[in-house]
Amino acid sequence: MDINKAVIAKLKRNGEIFEILVDCDKAIEFKKNKVNIREVVVAEYVYKDSKKGEKASENEMEKFFETKDFFKVAEIILKDGEVQLTAEYKNRLREENRKKIIELIHRNAIDSKTGLPHPITRIENAMNESKVHIDEFKSAEEQIEDILEKLQEIIPIKFEVKEIWVRIPAEFGGQAYSIFKRFGKVLKEDWADGLAVNVEIPGGMVEDFFDKLNKLTHGQVESKEIKK
C-alpha cells in the first residue's frame, strides 16, 4: 500500500502519544480478529508524531509497552487505541454493519407473538425508532444481543436459540473464545480435557459458527445439541 494513503492509529499512554501507520481496511479487520498484524501496518515504525516523522525510541517502547518488539507494540496500539478514520469512511462501515445486522435479525429472529419472521422493513423501522447505535469496529454478530434488547421495546421479537456442547483442543481455547462470544453466550466451560463449553447460539447462526470453529481447529471439534 502507498504510505501516503495510510491512516494513523494512535494510543495515549501515561500522557505520551504513540502512533503507527496502517492500512485502513486491514486495521478494521484486525479489530474484528480477521487478519494478522503484519498485514495491517504500512511502515514498521512507532512514532511520537508521524506527520513530523518523529519516531519513538526503543527505550520509550520498553518503558511504556514493556517490549521493544514493533509488532507487539503495534498490536497494543490497535487494540487499545483508535484508528483515525474520516467521517465518510466511518459512515460507510456503519452502513455495512447495519445491513448485516438487519439480515441476521431477519434470518434468525421471529415475532414472539405469532412465531413468524419479521419483514425487513419492520426491522429497519424498529431500528430507526429505537435509535440503536451501530459500532463500526465490532462485527455484526457481536452487536446482535444488545440491539435485540432495544428492538424488544418496539416490537415483539426474539431469537430461536440452541444450546450446544462443544469440545476442542486446549491449544485453540484462547482464539476460540472470541468465536464463542461473537456468535452466542457461553453458559458453562470446563478446561479439564481440552476446552469444553455449553454455548447458546441463535439457530440460524449455527452453521457459520461451526464453519469458523472448524477452520480454526482444522476440524478438531466435538459437539452435540443439548435438548431442552
What percentage of the chain exceeds 90 in pLDDT?
A: 58
- Does position 208 have pLDDT exceeding 90, yes or no? no
CA 183 to chain centre: 10
Can you give the CATH number for the domain in which 43 is found?
3.30.1250.10
Share in percent of the chain as helix, strand, coil (round to 5): 45, 25, 30
Which of 124, 159, 194 is the C-terminal boundary of a domain? Answer: 159
* pLDDT score, position 48: 95
Dig out the grid coordinates for 128 from the structure: 430507526
On average, the pLDDT of the chain sits at 89
Residue 94 lies in a domain: yes
Residue 29 lies in a domain: yes
Residue 1 lies in a domain: no
**Segment 137-161 mean pLDDT:** 87
* pLDDT score, position 20: 96
CA distances in angstroms from 124 to 26, 114, 166, 193, 202, listed in the order given: 29, 19, 34, 44, 20
Which of 52, 83, 114 is the C-terminal boundary of a domain? Answer: 83
**Segment 95-111 mean pLDDT:** 89
Answer yes or no: are the C-beta atoms of 1 and 42 closer than 8 Å.
Answer: yes
**Segment 175-194 mean pLDDT:** 89
Domain count, the chain: 3
Task: Quote the domain boundaries for residue 104.
Answer: 87-159
Is residue 176 domain-shared with residue 221, that is, in the same domain? yes
Residue 2 lies in a domain: no
**Segment 15-30 mean pLDDT:** 91
* pLDDT score, position 215: 93
Can you give the CATH number for the domain in which 165 is found?
3.30.70.240
Quote the CA–CA distance of 9 and 154 in Å, as a whole number.
38
Residue pLDDT, tens place only, 73-97: 999 999 999 998 878 888 888 999 9
Which of 139, 159, 179 is the C-terminal boundary of a domain? Answer: 159
Residue 68 lies in a domain: yes
pTM of the shown model: 0.56
* pLDDT score, position 99: 94
